[in-house]
Structure 1
């Protein structure tokens, strides 16, 4: 068994032993899906969404995007900053195991949690609410991969800068909630002013959400959305690598 495999297994146990993290990661997206999905007319075709239902083109993509954002912007940086605060990263830097392996293990655990919950959202949505699978599966897969990379790169930057777990949670929340407002979560992108519609397509959370909305409806994501996600993924990762401190 490799060092990375052992570290990933250990981090997975830590993640699962904290009853709050799995409950939040699974509970909030599924609660959003069920609460809004059971509203009258949610699964009926709506001209506002190109003849598709609000459930398939707004609610389900929103649940997936909020899941990725919670993992990337709050849980992941909080865990890494807490390890720095407790001196674990410093001790690892003096051992034969490079601290980067712990970073990789944390990313793998969070991405695995994301995959599980996305499958739950698709399964529960299909069986209970009758949500169709994404109409453009290739575009959906590309959008969710780029979206995860963009959001986790922002989380990595937060983890690089935050000295403590509490600071990481505060910074993550300060990034997360404005992105909800400007990304088309609280108000669908179509109802935002034209300028803010472009902002929603550029921010990592908004570009992920709106690309998933388009692909779930069978359309293609916009190049602006894909480009914005790629730029954030590369840019934030490059900055985080330069400023990251293990102690």
Structure 2
């Protein structure tokens, strides 16, 4: 008797959905950012030191109001700038140099998925930063206006968008070494003169007018209005959104995946 011949149908694995691909890449991006000592120093340690220093001294002047209440929103703005701009610009610049972006751009993740993963990873890192800074600030006597927290969240999201777009514009047009130098230089300049730690209203007249149109001051002004006064600062929001729109358009046009 002949044995009946049976056939088996191979089982095909199902491709990951776009959301799962973005989440997987975002987890990788978060791990890379948190494992990088230099990035962690800029993103968390220095803002925490700035907060403690501002709370323990009377200089520089932060203007009217309880000092820790005025200082904390500025330090939160610094966290957003550190994670969304400085860290992302440097990481993306070197990913581009070593052809990581070119290879990822032709995978199923795609370029749009890569950008979404970087933005999501930045928000995760910022959540950790802001949680740590907030706990430290509360320990130092910070008393935020709870009614302004939704406005603060809005500014964090808008600021993240604007500064990630600026980071991609920088990282996608300059060589990695130049990105490293420029990103760190701009971090220092914005910290000192961009209306972040020292409120724009406390800067000399000329600098104050210049800072008024910068995304750093827009972000910090909006966070102070939200967390100190419980108000939505529409002018500051307009500045941040305008930078986000312009930077996104320029990055989409000028960004190069090859070094």
Question: TM-score higher than 0.5 here?
Answer: yes
Equivalent residue of 1:130, what SS? coil
Contact 1:76/1:107, CA 8 A, preserved across alignment: no
TM-score w.r.t. length of structure 2? 0.82
Pair member with larger Rg? 2
Deviations 1:43-86 (A, max 9, x none): xxx9941xx301101x1112111111112222101111111111
CA separation of 1:198 and 1:9: change in aligned 2, threshold 3 A:
same
Please give the alpha-carbon distance, in whole angstroms, between the structure 2 residues aligned to 1:97 and 1:140. 32
Name the Cα RMSD after superposition. Answer: 2.6
Question: Equivalences for 1:168-207 in 2 at 5 Å?
Answer: 168-185=179-196, 187-207=198-218
CA contact (8 A) 1:202 1:224 kept: no
The 5-angstrom pairing of residues 123-162 of structure 1 reads 123-126=135-138, 128-135=139-146, 136-162=148-174
What aligned pairs does 1:1-247 form with structure 2 within 5 A after superposition? 2-39=20-57, 48-49=63-64, 52-57=65-70, 59-126=71-138, 128-135=139-146, 136-164=148-176, 166-185=177-196, 187-247=198-258
Change (3 A) 1:181 1:96: same
Counterpart Cα distance in 1 of 2:242 and 2:59: 38
Residues 186 and 94 (structure 1), Cα distance of their counterparts in 2 relative to 1, 3 Å cut: closer
Which blocks of at least 5 consecutive residues in structure 2 are unaligned? 1-15
CA distance in 2, matches of 1:53, 1:68: 23
Please give the secondary structure, in 2, of the residue aligned with 1:4. Answer: helix
Deviation per residue, 1:130-162 (Å, 9 max, x gap): 211235223222222222222222112112212
Any unmatched runs of 5+ in structure 1? Answer: none
TM-score of the two chains, using structure 1 as the length reference: 0.85
Distance in 1 (alpha carbons) for counterparts of 2:214 and 2:42: 24
